[in-house]
Structure 1
Amino acid sequence: MFFDWFLKSFRILLLPFALLYGFIVVIRNWLYDKKILRSANFGLPLICVGNLSVGGTGKSPMVELLVRQLTRHFKVATLSRGYKRKTRGYALATENTTAIDIGDEPMQFHRKFPGVPVAVGEERIVAIPQLLHDRPDTEVVILDDAFQHRAIKPGLNILLTDCGNLYTRDFFLPAGDLRDSRHAAGRADIIVVTKCPAQMGTGEAEAIRREISPREHQQLYFTTIAYGMPYHITHMAPVIIDADTEVLLVTGIANPKPLKTYLEDQVHTYHLMQYGDHHIFTIDDFRDIKKRFENLTNPKKIILTTEKDAMRLEKFASEINGMPFSVLPIEHRFLFEGEHRFIETVVTFIKNFKKPE
């Protein structure tokens, strides 16, 4: 409580920097809106999944949901920036690729969907032609975290916003969490309010709808977090967690709060080792984790991490293999029976896509 108050108070002091940053963002968007700066079109459907803020809004699970649904009908590829990787430029995942080569989130896509081309590249306007050269049969490209990348004009923009930190209540970095202006939400075709309470009522949803005030062309959806069956990080065997399990939670994600809330409901005791977002785990980190785990006295104990963190921890596989080191999968669950309409909208966009003249 005190730390949150201190952090908010400190960020208020950064308001002048936030105003300067916001001015630059607004001018940049204006240049694109007036077509002084040009956005490139491509001759195939591009679907952008993004947000206006820093921090976790559930982009990776949304990309996974789209891949899972769309591969039933189309040949899909994903393109990400490859944040925190140790390489630069364009790269297409292969059987020898690691998270160091392409980043944790693309590596997660590659592991889950081995038949789907997964590419990375900081300059997406350069990476897309290279991806299409490597995989010319691609029919749809999902752009991960590209809402601010206006050098490309996607055909369908999906904007995510955290229910607990709506963009309508936020401000520019560093005083707030916004990396784009609230007005930029107007570019979205679909807005998804994520991490909603599972039992959200229609009255609460309607209040958020009024606050966001979607435009006539925009669809608004609500999702909650759904956790799947935990599995061992190396041999993938399912793991049972019950009230008697003592959990050491290891995370390097932007917002672990929903995960902590989940564990509070599932187990009597858990301990948190929290690292920075996209943290690259070192051997010293692993030794600290192992030591902390060994000090737990409950014979029914496990280490639990996220799928993204698992991609950065798998390099210690030889030691992890003999430990109860588990991964907790996550996905979006649509509220108010919205998933069918959401998928139908995306599929209709792809089927009706016309190449720009």
Structure 2
Amino acid sequence: MPLKPVRVSQLNNYISKILGSDPLIGNVRVEGEISNLKYHSSGHVFFSLKDEFSTIRCFMPSSAALRLRYELDNGMNVIVGGYISVYEKGGYYSLNIRELEAEGRGALAIAFDKVKEKLEKEGVFSLEHKKKIPSFAMKIAIVTSPTGAALQDMLKIIKSRNDVTDVLIYPSAVQGDGAALQIASAIDAINREHPDVEIIIAGRGGGSQEDLWAFNEECVARAIFNSKIPVISAVGHETDFTIADFAADLRAETPTAAATIAAFDSYALEELIASYKEDMKLSVLHLFDRYKERLLFLKAQLESLDPARLKKLGLVSVVDKDGKGLKSVYDAKIADTLYIKFEDGEIVVQVKEVREKK
């Protein structure tokens, strides 16, 4: 007896129920290479997963895609976890993905490299965009957790270096969901609302790579890059590097190092000024002594040319009736009356003859 025919939708619905009740394909992990990758405007992601023998369609909902730390690429080898479902209208099945990880490397490491590569190509890390850190900043803004030990450490350092620098504390979450947006928003707000701030310190204390991840987010790097106020990154320990470090105008190894760089040491400056003052005093005294010696030398030269002194030595001067001194025999004419002046008087003579030197 022939079977009663069923409608296509009924068959697809039956297959969907069978697949949905299978414990294996209801929670399966599959390894393969991504191909035919498409990001939909809704946030959903569609692609195929293949190996050398076969291919399966994959669907990743936007909720799962948002948890990714990086963008997917064709050719990427991944391990996905999910379940098989049937798209009844189209009559095909697909692997609905709950989670995805790159094969062979951690998700965070891949995300870090992808963000770094992208921003580096755009010139966000370029040295030509780095702003100079002021040497004598009078107002510093700190973007960090208001309850973290890093803030107290920085405030302590700044206070120990001078008592004139004004500090603006801009509280922000520094880890967890939404922290990156808070940090980026804080940097933007300081530029917009506090243009008198001369340096921004953005950072936090040490932690795991996951704890520090907010400072690897693209939005934080772009906020630092777009800041008109110089930004010092101060994230974690000496060995910790984040995307924010590459985007910042200066990377400090630790938050306390950032505070040391940002706040000038007024006490050391006072000592330096005192040292300069003493050096200037010695230089002026030395210069005074040199000019004094030169003045005594010139005085001796002038005294040696003093007419009164020369007359004492027997030197005389000859002037005409108008008191004009004669400098040459040609200044005298026959019958002129001349006056020969000595120290103790003068002799009046009349020119009888002018003799030239042969």
TM-score if structure 2 supplies the norm length?
Answer: 0.27
**Hey, which of these two has a bigger chunk of strand by percent?**
2
Relative contact order higher in (CA < 8 Å, ≥ 6 apart): 1
Structure with bigger gyration radius: 2
TM-score if structure 1 supplies the norm length?
Answer: 0.27
